[in-house]
């Protein structure tokens, strides 16, 4: 007997809930929209209609892969972040709501600065952080920096998709090494670096451990390797009075604050995400004089 879109949606939601998926309703909808080629509004309108055999077969194949652990964002090839729809694939991390706290702190800092304010999204991945800043702060010139060419390819796709080619530039740079000459004189650097301790990567949920790029997760023995390197080596890339803002793991805020203070950052403070976790640590360089 043919199934309606509503039948398929309800079956998928039940199966995903049974598998322990937190956002079963959202994921069932996204998979069915993708399988049918429908926008969300069309999907809601067509719930009572019968799905074609081709749509049902494609949908059930996607659902089977999701139930085996493959993230829905990789299955459909895109995900939403801070009001933007971005291309994603297994070469980059999936943007997460936790990271929106980092974006909000960046917007608060740069929104009233003059035109031409320079912003760097370091360890950019999909480019979600820098693109969200650019979209909401037209006074900025944004750079997306990452080392793997695969990540930079996704950045370029998303710059075009968001219509921000005049404002955002991708560039290759290794966050563990000193900044190249081009990447200097920034008012703001934002960074969501790899921060999972090496031994804990293997204990992550399979949907993360088995699908998302390990090099974007592994932060070294204690998870702090990138914070130490960036606070020390990339401070020189900031203007006097510039700001460095990190996303941190749920238990890393105090350690990252100490790292930044040791490197001479001032007014170092932490901010919570909506889940009441200390999610962001930020600090400023000296307001005037020579920056080390």
pLDDT tens-digit map of 126-153: 999 999 999 999 999 999 999 999 999 9
64-81 mean pLDDT: 96
| Cα angle: 68, vertex 69, 70; to 5 degrees | 105
> Residue 292's pLDDT is what?
46
| pTM assigned to the model | 0.93
DSSP lists the bridge partners of residue 188 as: 119, 243
Give the chain's mean pLDDT.
95
Residues with Cβ within 8 Å of 212's Cβ and at least 6 positions away in sequence, in order, are 71, 90, 93, 94
CA–chain centroid gap for 18, Å, is: 28
For residue 36 the two structure tokens come to 């049918």
Buried b (16+ CB within 10 A) or exposed e, 263-290: bebeebebbebeeeebbbbbbbbbeeee
Q: How far apart are CA 73 and CA 36, in angstroms?
A: 16
> Residue 181's pLDDT is what?
87
**Type and span of the H or E element at 5:** helix 5-18
> Residue 289's pLDDT is what?
52
DSSP lists the bridge partners of residue 168 as: 142
Residues with Cβ within 8 Å of 242's Cβ and at least 6 positions away in sequence, in order, are 186, 187, 188, 189, 284, 285
Q: How far apart are CA 185 and CA 162, in angstroms?
A: 25
270-283 mean pLDDT: 96
DSSP state for residue 93 in the 8-state scheme: P
pLDDT at 1 exceeding the cut of 80:
no
Query: Are 117 and 140 in contact, with CB atoms under 8 Å apart?
Result: yes
Residues with Cβ within 8 Å of 219's Cβ and at least 6 positions away in sequence, in order, are 193, 194, 195, 196, 197, 198, 225, 226, 227
188-197 mean pLDDT: 98
Q: How many other C-beta atoms are found inside a 10 Å radius of the C-beta of residue 98?
A: 17
> Residue 182's pLDDT is what?
84
């Amino acid at each position: 007997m043919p199934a309606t879109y509503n039948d398929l949606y309800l079956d998928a939601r039940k199966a995903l809930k049974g598998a322990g998926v937190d956002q079963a309703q959202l994921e069932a909808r996204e998979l069915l929209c993708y399988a049918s080629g429908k926008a969300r509004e069309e999907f809601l309108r067509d719930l009572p209609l019968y799905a074609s055999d081709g749509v049902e077969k494609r949908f059930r194949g996607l659902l089977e892969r999701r139930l085996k652990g493959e993230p829905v964002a990789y299955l459909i090839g895109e995900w939403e972040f801070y009001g933007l729809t971005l291309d994603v694939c297994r070469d980059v991390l999936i943007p997460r709501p936790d990271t929106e706290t980092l974006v909000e702190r960046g917007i608060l800092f740069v929104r009233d600065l003059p035109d031409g304010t320079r912003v760097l999204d370091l360890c950019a991945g999909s480019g979600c952080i820098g693109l969200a800043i650019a979209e909401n702060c037209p006074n900025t010139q944004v750079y997306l920096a990452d080392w793997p060419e695969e990540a930079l390819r996704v950045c370029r796709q998303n710059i075009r998709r968001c219509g921000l080619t005049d404002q955002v530039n991708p560039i290759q740079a290794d966050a563990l090494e000193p900044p190249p000459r081009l990447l200097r004189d920034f008012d703001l650097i934002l960074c969501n670096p790899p921060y999972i301790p090496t031994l804990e990567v293997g204990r992550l949920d399979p949907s993360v451990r088995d699908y998302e790029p390990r090099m974007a997760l592994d932060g070294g023995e204690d998870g702090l390797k990138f914070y130490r390197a960036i606070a020390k080596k990339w401070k020189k890339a900031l203007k006097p009075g510039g700001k460095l803002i990190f996303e941190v793991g749920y238990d890393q805020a105090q350690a990252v604050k100490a790292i930044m203070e040791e490197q001479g950052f001032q007014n170092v403070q932490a901010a919570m995400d909506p889940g009441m976790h200390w999610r962001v640590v930020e600090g400023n360089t000296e307001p005037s004089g020579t920056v080390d």
